[in-house]
Amino acid sequence: MPEIALFCALAALSCAPAGAQQLASPSEQAPMATLSYTRFADLIVNAPTIVDATIHSVASIKGPAAADVKPGYARVYIEADVTALIRAPGALPPTIGYVADIPLDARGRMPKLRKLRVLLFARPARQPGQIQLVALDGQRTWSPEADALTRKIATEVVATGAPPAITGVGHAFHTPGALPGEGETQIFLTTADGSPVSLTVARKQGEPPRWSPSFGDLADPNAAAPQHDTLLWYRLACGLPAALPDSSTAGIDPSEAAIAREDYKVVLDSLGSCDR
């Protein structure tokens, strides 16, 4: 396929996968046991188009169109046959084209890609039949495990009442209880779509602190902390700042602000690392 650089220009494609400079690239071809919910969620929430496809042709991109390729990678133009649409804003043709930066092996050689089945996390390009990967690792090797995880997260993302992206922490306050050591902290979060989300941490004598998330204007005392590797866990673990901002407790009693900070840490410790 000659003149790939010219093709990229004529097709109005960026000859780098979208987000390649912004998003970190974990090792491609990772063992299945190490599939990261967080990394797949990062890809899925940014990818309006998710395709199960099989590569049938690969052409190298050289010259100015590949000037910004990271060391250890090679830029190629790929055509792939669509096996299934996992998610898309519209129909795709049976064969699609896209640009990808592929990690080279230890000897600096391109891995064999032809006939490889892949999952593609992308957005539509302006040229019909073209897509643009949302990140440097927006092409992932297909496996039953990767397919199942992708479909699980994609279903969570579009479900009614799906938790929104967390953008920060708003006001927080602590209300002391009737007995020493008891009380309740409420922490209000800011979200990408403006919907209300809050965290409640309840303390009772002789019991460890218990926290729960709430959606809507009223706290839900019966809600449970989210399980690891769910969309709600991901939104909180990867969206909350590492400490309660001072602005969240401005204007409240310093002793109550200190407890609010402790309770916020209870939430973070329960969620664990974002694993990003």
Domains of the chain, first to last:
4-158 (2.40.50.120), 166-271 (no CATH)
Euclidean distance between CA atoms 253 and 243, whole angstroms: 18
96, containing H or E segment: strand 95-103
Euclidean distance between CA atoms 202 and 179, whole angstroms: 13
49, containing H or E segment: strand 49-60
Euclidean distance between CA atoms 75 and 93, whole angstroms: 23
Q: C-alpha distances in angstroms, 28 versus 31, 32, 225?
A: 9, 11, 32
Which is more confidently placed, 178 or 99?
99
Tell me, rounded to whole angstroms, the distance of Cα 85 from its chain centroid. 19
Tell me, rounded to whole angstroms, the distance of Cα 276 from its chain centroid. 9
Using alpha carbons only, what angle is made at residue 159 by residues 153 and 163, rounded to the nearest 5 degrees? 80
Q: Per residue in 13-57, pLDDT tens?
A: 556 666 543 433 433 444 334 689 999 999 999 999 999 999 999
Going by C-beta distance under 8 Å and a sequence separation of 6 or more, which residues neighbour residue 152?
Answer: none
Instruction: Name the range with the highest mean pLDDT among 12-26, 206-220, 249-263.
Output: 249-263
* Residue 168, beta-bridge partner list: 190
* Residue 201, beta-bridge partner list: 185, 211
Q: Which residue intervals of the chain are DSSP H helices?
A: 4-10, 37-45, 144-158, 231-239, 254-271
Q: Per residue in 53-99, pLDDT tens?
A: 999 999 999 999 999 999 999 999 999 999 999 999 999 999 999 99
Query: According to the model, what pLDDT value does residue 26 have?
Result: 39
Query: According to the model, what pLDDT value does residue 232 have?
Result: 96
Query: According to the model, what pLDDT value does residue 222 have?
Result: 73
Euclidean distance between CA atoms 86 and 16, whole angstroms: 23
The upper half-sphere exposure of residue 141, i.e. CA atoms within 13 Å in the direction of its Cβ, equals 17
Q: What average pLDDT does this structure show over 135-160?
A: 96
The upper half-sphere exposure of residue 258, i.e. CA atoms within 13 Å in the direction of its Cβ, equals 4
Euclidean distance between CA atoms 206 and 180, whole angstroms: 11
Supply the DSSP string of 153-168, one letter for each residue. Answer: HHHHHHSTTPPPPEEE
State the residue for tokens 């279903």: 155
> Percent of the chain, pLDDT > 90?
79
